[in-house]
Structure 1
Amino acid sequence: MADSTNGSSSFWTQANALFRKNLTFQRRNIRTNLRLILFPLVLCLLLVLLQTIVNIELDKPSNKCGCTCIDQNGDGQCERVCGIQYSDLDQVATCSIPSPPEWPPLLQVPDSQFRAVRTDFLSFGDLPNDSCRSTGSCPITVLMTGNNQSLGESLARNIFPISSNFNSSNGLANVVLGSASETQIFNFLEPAFFSSLPLYHVQSQCRANSTFSISIPLASTIMEKEIICVQGQHSWRNSSTDINNELYAGYRKGNSEEKINEILAGYDLLNSNANNYNVTIWFNSTYKNDTGNGPIGTVRVPRSINLVSNAFLQLLRGPSTQMLFDFIKETPKPETEIRLDFSSLLGPLFFTWVILQLFPIVLTALVYEKQQNLRIMMKMHGLGDGPYWMISYAYFLAISLVYMFCFVAFGSVVGLKFFTLNAYSIQFVFYVIYINLQISLAFLVAALFSNVKTAAVVGYITVFATGLLGGFFFQFFLQDTSFPRAWIVVMELYPGFSLYAGLYEFSQYAFTGNYMGTDGMRWSDLSDSNNEMSHVLIIMIVEWVVVFFLAYYIDQVVTAGSGARKSPLFFLEKFKKKPFSSFRKPSLQRQGSKVYVQLEKPDVAQERERVEQLVVDQDRSHDIVCDNLKKVYPGRDGNPEKIAVRGLSLALSTGECFGMLGPNGAGKTSFINMMIGLVKPSSGTAYVRGLDIRSDMDGIYANMGVCPQHDLLWETLTGREHLLFYGRLKNLKGAALTQAVEESLRSVNLFNGGVADKQSGKYSGGMKRRLSVAISLIGDPKVVYMDEPSTGLDPASRNNLWNVVKRAKQNRAIILTTHSMEEAEHLCDRLGIFVDGSLQCVGNPKELKGRYGGSYVFTMTTSSNHEADVENLVKGLSPDAKKIYEISGTQKFELPKEAIKIADVFRAVENAKSRFDVQAWGLADTTLEDVFIKVAREAQPFDVLS
């Protein structure tokens, strides 16, 4: 393997490596990206198609203006006649109206059950009792105030006429008419004359049988309408505050939507006198059916102004003086086409789904790295948290920006008003802020999941649920001007509702601009009190910052996505002064309520003494020094605590390969996890090239290689691309990087036949294993951990891999775990057998076999009726022989080496063959496997209560 150039890689070197890897990964997924980008394009085209179909239908003559067939000459032949007189209220918007009809001016009269009466929550007693509502005889009320009460009282007496003369030459100008019907945004057709509600004429006093009918000419037709008299009264209030309280405190009772105590109008005469006329008028704007932007005349306010003005003139010039208010009419208009902008009508819902679909994509990518342990793998090969967060965030931001650019570009090209009318600069700011918030939120939510499928399901459910809740729940609150704005802000704290609110504002401005022929949203519109966009932008910016830092904090403290969890105050650790000493002796701690006692073998005790001396002398000649390393997992669900590693002490020098042997559950994985930084030790510590695993893992990662038990690879990256990425993390550059990658591929037999440039997802299990070994050795790491590296390899590949490891151990320390005794004997300079968290023995293979294998294994197979003869033969060779196996005539015995000679065994077997049939026999020396089994069986840990 090639040597590293300059030690640990810099921040920008790591960032460059991750950026190149992500770029390659993105290039591999070009088809997926195209499908992603095509989604908003298809949706925009669908909206255009839907809008075109509807516009074609609206362009049909039968849908443009009211038309009918009329026999005008009486000859039985009808002619098709179109015009306003044959239209309903909905069609008036499209009709050509060169001469709009004249309508009598009306007051917005409260309906009989809503007129103001005396109540228990208003202090004014000059209103009628509520019993009048049952008979429909409640009068309508006008409230008045001002600086001059006598003037006000005089004016009030002249506001409503004493009687109405329907035969006057002035027509209806002398009649004060009113209606409780809702208004429209235009006055081409007065809804009062088309409503089922009656018309009222207001007088100071109504006589009996004061019901009349009038005829209203409308083009070529005459409309008949019944008119009912209603009494008008006035009430004086001492201040405008009193009027204000009475108008608004009595309008709605509690949370009830029932309208009560409606006042016709309120007049504040201010400083009016005989020489000065100055008045302010209150009116009920809830009848203004035009989203707040229509002309004030549609609320039937002009008649109120005319009444008080006439009263003032009559006070000055006599009762015969008045300003006649003959009619009101709209301005002429040509025939107009209805063009429904579906992108604005459906945009908030559809475009919420379009933008939110990026959320599960980012979320699943992050969870995938966590589920496959790829984040940990990168960290163990030297990638720091800073470069990872910067490049990953920038990577997702770039993808999101390209996606949003295509989204806006497609919508603009196909002509959707949602995009073309609203200022692109506002759209850019809004989308950029939101996608930053969305990416930060994905980092935060990723901490809650460890499975990609679960994260994907929850992510897409969130997408569709947010759109539906926004369209069928949140939007009603946005449209209700009476709903408290503070609660709107609270709901917008959920990022999905913030997105919906912003899109809703864009849609409203685009729809109005398209309908009225004006521009959509501009920066100046953000100062409008009815515009939510400014609030939305502020909320998203604040949430973006808060969520980002919260996500980073949780990643470091709560989740194990970046290895061992850090202290909750980890950001303060850089201010702590660390001693200069490389080795720092940890304080010994008692674990729980028990003291665990292990009767150590001499070789284990000798290893412990050697480690203690190295720590005391601060000797840095060994690459790995484990000093009384312990790991205790706390008890859960009533179970006692689990001791995984019991005070392990071990020292490895450069060029040494140490083999960890042990049964499943012995604690080998927990030991490796502590050494590579996945978990922190409960007590004790270990030093890797003088760096403490408790506090200096970032430095250790720069000189460490790991071959995990399970292959941690990106399926869409090739073997060469994997090695290039990890080589860059190890600070390899240029020609040195290329040479190191080629040497690594050749060493593990992945160079020829195009295998190096084949995606790892198409590798066999053995090829993946060889690639994992090559990754662990790239960049000349000084310490390497290999967890069962030859698992799944064929004999030829396994032998080749052993040669690679033997060459690699010459200038580094290697810790290797395996269940293959042949592999351990072939590769390892020393072995340690690990049982129940404790090291039972340490030594090279020959020493262990000599120490624990001082016997021969004698095997003989005969018929079952000669088993006793075989036992007698063995007892004759050695009285201390021990039977260790017996089944169907095959028996195995352990024979002490010092008690027998091999020649005696051969003579005894030849003599036995003459007495009975010997089917097979054998004499073997003790193997490493026998030593392993023997040590594992003899190891019986126990504990003593303290």
Structure 2
Amino acid sequence: MWTNVRLISFPIFFCLLFVALQRLVDSQLNSSDNRCGCVCVQVDPNGQCQRTECGLQYSDMDQASSCPIPNPPEWPALLQIPGPNYRAVRTDVLTSGDLPDASCRSLGSCPATTLVTGNNQSLGEFLKGSMFSTSFTPDDPQGSFATNVVGTETYPERYNYLEPAFASALPLYNIQSQCTSNSTFSISINQSSTSRDIELRCVQGLYLWRNSSSEVNSELYKGYRKGNSEEKINEFVAAYDFLNSDGNTFNVTVWYNSTYKNYSTGAPMSLLRIPRSVNLASNAYLQFLQGSGTKMLLEFVKEMPKPETKLKIDLSSLLGTLFFTWVILQLFPVVLTSLVYEKQQKLRVMMKMHGLGDGPYWMISYAYFLVISLLYMLCFVIFGSVIGLKFFTLNDYSIQLVFYFIYINLQISMAFLVAAVFSSVKTASVIGYILVFGTGLLGGFLFESFVEDESFPRGWIIVMELYPGFSLYRGLYEFGQYSFRANYMGTDGMRWGNLSDSTNGMREVLIIIFVEWLVVLFFAYYVDQVSSSGAGKSPLFFLKNFRKKPQSSFRRPSLQRQGSKVFVQMDKPDVTQELNVIRFIHLYEELFLFFFGFLIFFSFFISPEGEWLEQLLLEPSTSHPIICDDLKKIYPARDGNPEKFAVRGLSLALARGECFGMLGPNGAGKTSLINMMIGLTKPTSGTAYVQGLDIRTYMDTIYTSMGVCPQHDLLWETLTGREHLLFYGRLKNLRGSALNQAVEESLKSVNLFHGGVADKQAGKYSGGMKRRLSVAISLIGDPKVVYMDEPSTGLDPASRNSLWNVVKRAKKDRAIILTTHSMEEAEALCDRLGIFVDGSLQCVGNAKELKARYGGSYIFTMTTSVNHEEEVENMVRHLSPSANKIYQISGTQKFELPKQEVRIADVFQAVENAKTKFTVFAWGLVDTTLEDVFIKVARGAQAFNILS
């Protein structure tokens, strides 16, 4: 719960951070240095200001944008003319012969060049000649600005409340057909209650004809300003394509330079000095029609009136795209690591083995992550709206709801799909967070530049948006753009009607993420079925409905035996007897099937619905809940090693109420056998039946009646012991009081009830407590078949005895397979034992039978001085000529005496006689133990395998 609370509160931190930064930025933007300029116009005798006036006339460039301007000033319409060192000249790139030589740059006499083209060259030549002015009247500079071509190299600003050309120290240029020697002079400009002297220089205007628009475009491109370097900059004033203009039609395209930037700050300039360029072409065409005496005057340009405004920048709209991308994508590694954790700890398999199907697991997990994600996004949007972030408040909430809802579903589906690739939580977490921050950075510094570049193909934008991270970034980018403009201009943010705008990418993003959600969800489920869920399924598992319907559970295939199997049976009569039991079961079921074949003819007379027959066929046909039928597991060769035979044709039948103990050295194949029985791995050949159901086809049904205590504890560290049992009890269909009673009894039976242990997190349990909890989990819900893989490992003697009592009570009416290395545990719990060596079953029987069959001897031990060792050995040979010395060191000797040759009374008498002849430090006579039998069988089998 606290983990989820911390997760959901994460976006609140970013929202509060934006609020703090917003207040800081607002305080700086609206400081006196950035507000409209003011001066004191009336001072009293004490030097105190009586009256202050504020306005545009008292403001500098930075302050002008916030001033009220009820009557904007009128400014001359100027051309944007390149500086003397930037004007186009003939170079190795621009090779046209009519361009001026580059030597003019050293003299500062380079002309300002304009390119002209069109379909009618004669008309174009006339029009370009009419654009020149021949003189400038210094006595009336204001009027001359309307009739002459005047320009500036000063960079334009975002506004023209104050024309920067008249505020800078750079000169103005008058373009004429030919400049005279005295064509540079100073003029006085009176504007906005200010007077300023400005230098006016004459510059020669050069209009060059080109044969096509492609030639014009090529030269403009080659002279393009690249970066801040002055090398090879060849700028043109403008270019005109008069197209199909003639005496009846005026059609012109104007190229103009919109690339000027303030390279000291990197800020682009948005106001273009294009009106004069358009006026020149229009005026020239008017003179073509009406004569040279007709002029279309462009006297001034001015801004729209505006009230006093405050400088405002909404940081959430400006920077929110990047940061909010990180906020939303942060859910991805959270979901991914949670899924991989269940996979790494094998908790998913554990739940499946206790009856949780894939469908319910997916529904529950998906719903849980969806609820957490929805709460996360609701807190994000609601809190951001409450504290006033324009990113949320100005955009339509219904669009935000649809966008966020679809995307978090896509994100959860992606986590399910990607989780199939990882098996380590640490690796998944690292890769997940790399994707989070990498996506945000790539979106902010790469993808966004492509989106804003109108020349970039829209199709490639859509291709990039197929990556879910870029789709998220594009959606948030659109929200940010609309809220930023709405905040700045006082309009509405994004509405549903805006989705049809050509520049709005939200509609295509919604379509992409919705389709991807459905596709990814389908493939995630498919990959999960194939690669996860224990042994997995065939890649074509979805075609099972089109295959032949499988036979009923009791119709099992006939036994197939290899020659090697017959050889083993001849040497192992107890194993052969177990095989005969399997054959008898099959024969019984074939007769059972034959008998019911006759009854099918009468089924509709007895019950037209056939319910009685269906119910009978589904019941187990034998009293053996577990049957292994020639079960084999072979691991393929790898890394130069030969293939490994883990299980070699095991045939075994367990009756109800029986606990079968599997003994064997490490690597004998015991765990491999259990893994096949519980569905973790698939058998290479053969099969097994649990409750009459084939493990190859009915594993999902088998899980509902099966309990497992794995070799390693598979527990949630954050859940308590009681919560574990409640969860697994519900999987076994326990409800209400029955569930609570079963949990209480289970906790008491394994000594986890008292002292608050039951309500303690499993991660804080000792190894023995975890083991007892695993045993309790395997038995809850009354499973009919239970597998226990070394259940008493790590337990103290008292806890082990208590656990043994639990297992003894659990044997009633259920079959248990138990693996152990403790001979004492095997004798105490198991009704029958099987010794497993090198993948095959060497012997089967109860403890007494095995000791009688493989341990028909006494172990005699005597310790004397080294000098009397020979006398001891002679005494033993006299008692039993077939005695076998199995141990000797420092006077201590151990002999194996066949029982048929020795009487215990004779041994006692011989020892008493020996004591009269030499000193006997210690002696003993014991029957063969189960451990001796195990060692003898294991060594014999290993020696046989080595020889064979």
For the aligned pair, the TM-score class normalised by the smaller chain equals: 0.7 to 0.9
2:74 aligns with 102
- Tell me the equivalent position of 1:345: 318
Whole-angstrom CA distance in 2 between matches of 1:588 and 1:643: 19
Pick from 642, 646, 649 the counterpart of residue 651 of structure 2.
649
Match of 1:765 among 764, 767, 770: 767
In structure 2, the CA distance between the partners of 1:642 and 1:782, relative to structure 1 (3 Å rule), is same
- Provide the rounded CA distance (Å) in 2 between the counterparts of 1:861 and 1:945: 36
Alignment match of 2:574 (pick from 590, 598, 603):
603
Conservation of the 8 A alpha-carbon contact between 1:659 and 1:824: yes
Is residue 518 of structure 2 the alignment partner of residue 548 of structure 1?
no
Which residue in 2 is equivalent to 1:537?
Answer: 510
CA gap 1:253/1:154 in 2 versus in 1, 3 angstroms: closer
Q: Deviations over 1:120-148 (max 9, x none)?
A: 999x97964785886773552243536x7
Residue in 1 that maps onto 2:606: none
Conserved in 2, the CA contact under 8 Å of 1:251 and 1:260? no
Residue ranges of structure 1 left out of the alignment (5+ in a row): 1-29
1:529 Cα deviation after fit: 2.8
Does 2:711 match 1:709? yes
Whether 2:6 is the aligned partner of 1:35: answer: yes
**Partner in structure 2 of residue 25 of structure 1:** none
Q: Which residue of 2 aligns with 1:377?
A: 350
CA 1:759 to 1:113, structure 2 compared with 1: closer, same or farther past 3 Å?
Answer: same
**C-alpha distance in structure 1 between counterparts of 2:684 and 2:676, whole Å:** 10
| Aligned mates of 2:861, 2:793 — CA distance in 1 | 31
1:231 aligns with 2:205: yes
The residue that corresponds to 2:251 in the other structure is 279
2:250, 2:285 within 8 Å by CA — same for their partners in 1?
Answer: no
Could you tell me which of 460, 469, 477 is aligned with 2:442?
A: 469
Q: Structure 1, residues 674-699: CA drift from partner, whole Å, max 9, x if none?
A: 11111111122212222222222111
- Report which structure shows greater RCO (CA 8 Å, sep ≥6): 1
> What's 2:730 paired with?
728
Structure 2 CA distance for partners of 1:259 and 1:121, relative to 1, 3 Å: closer
Task: Judge conservation of contact 2:82–2:112 (CA < 8 Å) in 1.
Answer: no
State yes or no: 1:624 paired with 2:597: no
Percent of aligned pairs with the same residue?
65
The question of whether the paired residues in 2 share the 8 Å contact of 1:180 and 1:197 is answered with yes
Q: Is the 8 A contact 1:349 1:470 kept in 2?
A: yes
Segment of structure 1 superposing worse, 902-911 or 149-158: 149-158
Change (3 A) 1:571 1:117: farther
Please name the residue that 1:365 is paired with: 338
CA spacing shift, 1:115–1:523, aligned 2, 3 Å? farther
Q: Distance in 2 between matches of 1:587 and 1:474?
A: 65
Superposed counterparts of 1:574-723, under 5 Å: 574-582=545-553, 583-585=555-557, 600-615=571-586, 618=589, 620-621=621-622, 622-723=624-725
Q: Tell me whether 897-906 or 469-478 shows the greater mean CA deviation.
A: 469-478
Tell me which residue corresponds to 2:61: 89
Between stretches 428-437 and 374-383, larger displacement belongs to: 428-437
Partners of 2:573 and 2:9 in 1: CA distance: 71
Match of 1:523 in 2: 496
Q: TM-score, normalised by structure 1?
A: 0.87
* Distance in 1 (alpha carbons) for counterparts of 2:774 and 2:140: 104
Post-superposition shift, 1:161?
A: 2.7
> What's the counterpart of residue 19 of structure 1?
none
CA contact 1:348–1:504 (8 Å) conserved in 2: yes
- Distance in structure 1 (CA, Å) of the matches to 2:271 and 2:253: 16
Corresponding residue for residue 615 of structure 2: none
Residue 886 of structure 1: SS of its match in structure 2?
A: strand
Question: Equivalent residue for 1:45?
Answer: 16
Question: Given the alignment of the two structures, is residue 243 of structure 1 paired with residue 213 of structure 2, yes or no?
Answer: yes
Partner of 1:15: none
Cα distance in 1, alignment partners of residues 707 and 762 from structure 2:
20
With over 3 angstroms needed to count, the CA separation of the structure-2 counterparts of 1:888 and 1:101, relative to structure 1, is farther
Maintained 8 Å contact 2:80/2:237: no
Count of equivalent residues: 902
- Whether the 8 Å contact between 2:173 and 2:202 is mirrored in structure 1 is yes
Whether the 8 Å contact between 2:188 and 2:198 is mirrored in structure 1 is yes
Counterparts of 1:883 and 1:286 in 2: how far apart (Å)?
A: 106
| CA distance, structure 2, for counterparts of residue 192 and residue 672 of structure 1 | 89
Q: Which residue of 413, 433, 441 maps to 1:460?
A: 433
Give how far 1:160 is off: 2.9
Residues of 2 paired with 1:295 and 1:321: CA distance?
38
Q: Which amino acid is the alignment partner of residue 739 of structure 1?
A: Q
| Letter aligned with residue 728 of structure 2 | Y
Match of 2:798 among 773, 796, 802: 796
Equivalent residue in structure 2 for 1:557, among 500, 506, 530: 530
* Partner Cα separation in structure 1 for residue 529 and residue 754 of structure 2: 42
Cα offset, 1:797, TM superposition: 2.8
**Contact 2:77-2:299 at 8 Å conserved across structures:** yes
CA distance in 1, matches of 2:718, 2:539: 37
State the secondary structure of the residue aligned to 1:894.
Answer: strand
Residue in structure 2 matched with residue 160 of structure 1 by the alignment:
132
Aligned: 1:893 with 2:881 = no
Match of 1:928 in 2: 930
Deviation at 1:151, TM superposition (A): 5.2
Picking from 833, 836, 839, the partner of 1:834 is 836
C-alpha displacement at 1:402, in angstroms?
0.2
Match of 1:420 in 2: 393
2:116 corresponding residue in structure 1 = 143
Asked if structure 2 preserves the Cα contact closer than 8 Å seen for 1:153 and 1:236, the reply is: no
User: CA contact under 8 A between 1:632 and 1:642: conserved in structure 2?
Assistant: yes
Deviations 1:895-914 (A, max 9, x none): 11001000001111111222
Q: Which residue type is aligned with residue 196 of structure 2?
A: I
Distance 2:401 2:799 in 1: 56
What CA distance in whole angstroms lies between the structure 2 residues aligned with 1:662 and 1:228? 106
| 8 Å contact kept, 1:204–1:233 | no
Please, which moves more after superposition, 884-893 or 705-714?
884-893
Cα deviation digits, residues 374-421 of structure 1 (max 9, x gap): 000001111111111121111101101100100111111111111111
- 1:464 and 1:675 map into 2 onto residues whose CA distance is 44
Change in Cα spacing, 1:590 to 1:90, as seen in structure 2 (3 Å) is farther
Please report how far the alpha carbon of residue 650 of structure 1 lies from its aligned counterpart in structure 2 after TM superposition: 1.2
1:319: Cα distance to partner? 1.9
Structure 2 distance, partners of 1:70, 1:356, is: 58
User: Residue 869 of structure 2 aligns to which amino acid in structure 1?
Assistant: E
Q: Structure 2: which 5+ residue stretches go unaligned?
A: 591-620
- Deviation (angstroms), 1:632: 1.3
1:322 corresponding residue in structure 2:
295
1:392-407 equivalences under 5 Å are 392-407=365-380
Shift of 1:539: 3.0
Mapped contact 1:206–1:231 kept (Cα < 8 A): no
**Is the alpha carbon distance of 1:215 and 1:267 closer, same or farther for their aligned partners in structure 2, counting shifts above 3 Å?**
farther
* Structure 1 pair 205–609 and aligned structure 2 pair: CA distance change class (3 A): farther
SS in 2 for 1:335: coil
CA contact (8 A) 2:245 2:252 kept: no
Aligned residue number for residue 600 of structure 2: none
Shift of 1:617: 5.1
* Native 8 Å contact 2:713 2:771 kept in 1: yes
**8 Å contact from structure 2 (residues 176, 202) kept in 1:** no
Aligned 1:10-25 pairs, distance under 5 A = none
Superposed displacement of residue 753, structure 1: 4.4
- The correspondence of residues 844-923 of structure 1 with structure 2, limited to 5 A, is 844-923=846-925
Contact 2:664 2:938 in 1 (8 A): yes
The yes-or-no answer on 1:823 pairing with 2:797 is no
Deviations 1:681-724 (A, max 9, x none): 11222122222222221111122111111221222223332222
Give the superposed CA RMSD. 3.7
* Cα deviation code 1:548-576 (max 9, x no counterpart): 23322322223xx3101321212222321
User: CA offset at residue 32 of structure 1?
Assistant: 1.9
Distance, in Å, in 1 between the alignment partners of 2:448 and 2:410 is: 21
The equivalent residue for 2:405 is 432
Alignment of 1:436-455 (within 5 A): 436-455=409-428
- Would you say the 8 A contact 2:261–2:268 is kept in 1? no
What is the TM-score normalised by the length of structure 2? 0.87
CA drift of 1:447 comes to 2.1
